[in-house]
Structure 1
Amino acid sequence: MKKPIILTVDDDAQVLAAITRDLRQEFRKDYRILSVNSGPEALATLTELRARADEPLALVLADQRMPEVEGVEVLTRARELFPEAKRVLLTAYADTTAAIKAINSAQLDYYLLKPWDPPEQLLYPTLHDLLNSWQASYRPAFAGLRLIGFQWSPLSHELKDFLSGYMVGYQWLDYEKDAEAKVLLEANGFKADDLPVVICPDSKAVARPDKLDLARHLGLLVDAQQELYDVVVVGAGPAGLAAAVYGASEGLKTLIIERQTPGGQAGSSSRIENYLGFPTGLSGAELAHRAWTQATRLGAEFMAPQEVVSMCIQDGYKVLTLTDNKEIKARAVVLTTGVSYRTLNAPGLDRLSGAGVYYGAARTEARSCSQQPVYVIGGGNSAGQAAMYLSTYASQVFIVIRGDSLTASMSAYLIEQIAQTPNITILPRTQVREACGQYALEAVVIQQEGHEPEKHPARALFIFIGAKPSTEWVCDLAICDPKGYLLTGRDLVADPRYKQAWKKDREPYLLETCVPGMFAAGDGRAGAMARVASAVGEGSMAIKFVHQYLDE
């Protein structure tokens, strides 16, 4: 595989020479730098690169003011041909308004003001971040771990989701379409009945692997390293990751346990654009991976995929039992178990789950929807972000909502982006009545209020509806509201029904459950705000109360 390419275009010869010089000085070791001096030449170069399978495009930098073809048009075309490539607009101060508008219209990743001197401060840090992000999501034509399976296999989908959640680079080979898949399968002594098969970089091949065994082989921590922890965080969504970062950074022996992949519901978001400090947005998986890396660098242990199935109190210590019956002891616990999407009740959905019907998982399955129609159910930000991401691949994206519009449940910036995307259609006052297909989803039956049901072809159905707290395993120990959300702080003592459950002389801390030393943060807590920033805030606050509890 040849080096990934950084393409820069500017009609000003001096500026082009300067940006090319700076790029080569910093990035030539790992990237090939291409420079062109006009918009039409840039479009021709993009088309030529698309025809070559062995030259990936990592980054495009285009000047805005060019004759014939402006920079935004070049970046828009780059997005069509190379959806994963990062796009940066070079602009003068007077054109910043156009650059900001381009963030939505061309899905711009960043804009840089000219001049960028010194590049060590004004150019390189931004480009390093963008290229690191591209490297994290880019799948080379051949490298590392391979996954062979059937496109419509639920187990294949689970493994793809698992690997993507931990940002493990892998090559997906469809047994029915890729000739290489059959060759590799036979070479490793397997048959079609053994699928899915994982072939690791060390050539070890495993049929229908258990996630725990696969995690061990990938070097993930699946067993606790300490006999006693100061704090155990259950759940690695934004709240749990924040708690792990602050707990480890403040010297607490910290363990975080996640049953699936880091990020929780936020981790499945294809693009989060309203999180503080990221003006052009980032994916939920990127945010989770950065936080996970930060927590482990500071000393937190990260166990996954492991699930806590019960907890009891022994002499003041919290004893957590895992699915494999192993026990972990902690002085304090922070529950950040979050919520999961509610399942939709309609004929065919359960049967085709993982075979065209998906809860979340838009990033995992988007590529398989190329030039085919897909449906998204839900009117929240997660649904909107998924629709925008899918629109890059699918021929048409239909957003199905029960209400009249998206204004009551979706952020304004997303509504604006959706309105500007020609292949996204909103279906108001509509419900999905049935999913059709023998082995995989082939069509959906939808019904608009006041009309007869209609059947339409569909490659995939992505469901983002409601939220169900993942607290069933702890409700016999902690007090939950009727919907299953954990009650904390003043909610425990203000309501006469729960007041007797609190046994200590002091009032419970703000995020403390009815069990002293057991705290709840994030979406699984009653009264929490379903936002990434608030979850991060609660996770970090929980560690402050852990300190107060441990100092008693």
Structure 2
Amino acid sequence: MPKPILFAIDDDVSVLEAVVGDLRRKYGEHYRILRAASGQAALDTMIQLKDRKESVALLLSDQRMPGMTGVEMLQRAIGIYPDAKRILLTAYADTEAAIRAINSAKIHYYLNKPWDPPEEKLYPVLDDLLENWNEGYQPPYRGVQVIGTRWGALDHGVRDFLSRNRVQYRWISPEVGDEAEVLLEQHHLDGARLPAVIFGDGTVMVRPSQMELAEKLGMRTRATEEFYDLIVIGAGPAGLASAVYGASEGLRTLILESDAPGGQAGSSSKIENYLGFPGGISGEELGKRAFLQAARLGAEIVTQRAECLRCEGQYRVIKLGDGREVSSSAVVIATGVSWVRLPVKGADRLLGAGVYYGAALAEAMSCKDEDVYVVGGANSAGQAAMYFAKYARSVRMILRGDGLAKSMSRYLIDQIEATDTIQVETNAEIIEMMGDTHLEQVRIQTATGEEIRPASSVFIFIGAAPKTAWLPDDVERDDRGFVLAGPDVRDRKAFTREPYLLETSVPGIFVAGDVRHGSVKRVASAVGEGSIAIQFVHQYLAGF
């Protein structure tokens, strides 16, 4: 963050150097000291500083300068930096003019030359003025800014990617205030082509992809090597556990993750039944800690999507989303699951414009004082309902069944029942989403008939679909796409032994976590499977 500026102006070089020296000795640690040898030069510099959004805290100008007096310069400076403190430096002969300028140029103080010693005659005055200036000073925001509408699918995707990767950003909507319009004009952007992402260095990306954002934000998007001992696909709890144990036990380990660390669990606002965290922990925080732990132990983590997997002898080759390939001796598939789509009219059309799958925590603040609907009755839905209840006017949980007890942990049920703003509606389902540019109403089938209700946000948690379409056919899956492993493998022709417990139908390719057939859909079990898989990786590698 650039320091605020103290600006000294004087045409006498010796006086200017003395002023700058005194300012730097006292204030150089917290302020940047600039100088100019004329009033016009000072005004030109201030215009440039304003364009760069830099802050000027104080102007200290001599009165007698050729071409433009100090009073005239300070008067004109008000239009550029109206909040800057203005001090006139005068000779005794100019004292009367300085007093008159207090009103005409709105000068805050005047000082007579000489000002020695500065500890008595200069610093006490500046200390008071700077203290007053700092009370109203808000440093300009230098981080990532996103200009985009609330109801655009691309806009939501950008904000969700940044949120899940723990990138701090400001969201500026053209629908609220005129700040977005000012920024669009300043950066010569078309308001019809959003979202636009403005970075602290002044660069702009319009409608960026996740990979473009990742590269700009400094995330690693390319593997440093062509071959690894172990490649882990997916950085959810299972994948991160595999990476932690693989790297800590000496395996050259690569993790591939196309979205954000933490997987589906990363969007959980609070996990309260994970061992060792009596106060609970957010899925985002758990994912971050595991990510850092894996990196510290030597795992290489790359933001990339695995496109396909093939075997070449004893090597397992993965083609990445950017067209490159990496290979390894062993692979752990830990891609987790995605939410099942709700097959009702309007849901696909309004995706990202009021209809969301998963918690979509980036939307929470937008739901303030609104009525939110949560579809589903498992733990993820309960955690989301509790989170959105902090912001929304009300949260309605829509369940097709007759209660939460069959699918939700007791601690969550108790919390929901104790939250006045959450209402659970059983034997009900949303059968239509309605709205033009964004969700405005939902049609709900209840035990007593159909109802149309106003709604701006619906968050859907209705089951898990495995992310396995990219896998080759010889990696066996069940009829829902979950990967078979160990005793569940049907075709064992590729083996001269029994498959290891978490080994798929292809030797050297293992599976862990929610993507595995028959897995327990809990964070703790995913972490356990990811850890155990490394034991079988070692046994497999020992047989080479």
Q: TM-score, normalised to structure 1's length?
A: 0.72
After superposition, the C-alpha distances for 1:449-492 in whole angstroms (9 at most, x for unaligned) are: 2x221011112000001111111111513011111111111122
After superposition, the C-alpha distances for 1:211-240 in whole angstroms (9 at most, x for unaligned) are: 211111111010110121000000111000
Question: What is the CA distance between 1:445 and its match in structure 2?
Answer: 0.9
**Cα distance in 2 for residues equivalent to 1:550 and 1:355:** 48
Structure 1 gaps, min length 5: 2-139, 493-497
2:378 matched residue in structure 1: 380
1:504 matched residue in structure 2: 495
1:429 matched residue in structure 2: 427
Are residues 252 and 409 of structure 1, via their aligned partners in 2, closer, same or farther at CA, if it must alter by over 3 Å? same
2:527 matched residue in structure 1: 536
**Cα distance in 2 for residues equivalent to 1:475 and 1:491:** 18
Of 402, 405, 415, 2:403 maps to 405
Q: Does 1:516 align with 2:521?
A: no
After superposition, the C-alpha distances for 1:328-381 in whole angstroms (9 at most, x for unaligned) are: 111100000111100001111111100000001341111100001010000000
User: Does the 8 A contact of 1:488 with 1:510 survive in 2?
Assistant: yes
Query: Mean alpha-carbon deviation: is it higher for 243-252 or for 373-382?
Result: 243-252
**Cα distance in 1 for residues equivalent to 2:437 and 2:336:** 32
Of 462, 483, 494, 1:465 maps to 462
The CA RMSD over aligned residues, in Å, is: 1.4
Larger radius of gyration: 2
Runs of 4 or more off by more than 6 Å in structure 1? Answer: none
Amino acid at match of 1:149: G
**Cα distance in 2 for residues equivalent to 1:362 and 1:199:** 22
Question: What is the CA distance between 1:258 and its match in structure 2?
Answer: 0.9
- Specify the SS of the correspondent of 1:529: coil
Question: What is the CA distance between 1:323 and its match in structure 2?
Answer: 2.2
**What percent of counterpart residues are identical?**
52
Amino acid at match of 1:487: L
**Cα distance in 2 for residues equivalent to 1:213 and 1:471:** 25
2:273 matched residue in structure 1: 274
**Cα distance in 1 for residues equivalent to 2:482 and 2:255:** 21
**Cα distance in 2 for residues equivalent to 1:348 and 1:463:** 14
Amino acid at match of 1:398: R
- Specify the SS of the correspondent of 1:192: coil
2:538 matched residue in structure 1: 547
Of 393, 396, 399, 2:394 maps to 396
2:293 matched residue in structure 1: 294
User: Does the 8 A contact of 1:404 with 1:429 survive in 2?
Assistant: yes
2:332 matched residue in structure 1: 334
**Cα distance in 1 for residues equivalent to 2:293 and 2:229:** 19
**Cα distance in 1 for residues equivalent to 2:214 and 2:310:** 27
Question: What is the CA distance between 1:502 and its match in structure 2?
Answer: 3.6
After superposition, the C-alpha distances for 1:301-347 in whole angstroms (9 at most, x for unaligned) are: 1111x211111111210000112221111110000011110000111
User: Does the 8 A contact of 1:502 with 1:515 survive in 2?
Assistant: no
- Specify the SS of the correspondent of 2:349: coil
**Cα distance in 2 for residues equivalent to 1:227 and 1:367:** 43
1:474 matched residue in structure 2: 471
**Cα distance in 2 for residues equivalent to 1:542 and 1:332:** 11
**Cα distance in 2 for residues equivalent to 1:269 and 1:148:** 26
1:364 matched residue in structure 2: 362
Question: What is the CA distance between 1:533 and its match in structure 2?
Answer: 0.2
Structure 2 gaps, min length 5: 2-138
**Cα distance in 1 for residues equivalent to 2:143 and 2:494:** 55
User: Does the 8 A contact of 1:487 with 1:526 survive in 2?
Assistant: yes
Q: Does 1:487 align with 2:484?
A: yes
1:345 matched residue in structure 2: 343
After superposition, the C-alpha distances for 1:134-182 in whole angstroms (9 at most, x for unaligned) are: xxxxxx9944111110111100100111001110011111111132111
User: Does the 8 A contact of 2:160 with 2:360 survive in 1?
Assistant: no
User: Does the 8 A contact of 1:256 with 1:300 survive in 2?
Assistant: yes
Amino acid at match of 1:187: Q
- Specify the SS of the correspondent of 1:164: helix
After superposition, the C-alpha distances for 1:254-282 in whole angstroms (9 at most, x for unaligned) are: 00001211111111111111001111111
**Cα distance in 2 for residues equivalent to 1:417 and 1:424:** 10
Are residues 141 and 382 of structure 1, via their aligned partners in 2, closer, same or farther at CA, if it must alter by over 3 Å? farther
- Specify the SS of the correspondent of 2:327: strand
User: Does the 8 A contact of 2:226 with 2:325 survive in 1?
Assistant: no
2:242 matched residue in structure 1: 243
Q: TM-score, normalised to structure 2's length?
A: 0.73
1:220 matched residue in structure 2: 219
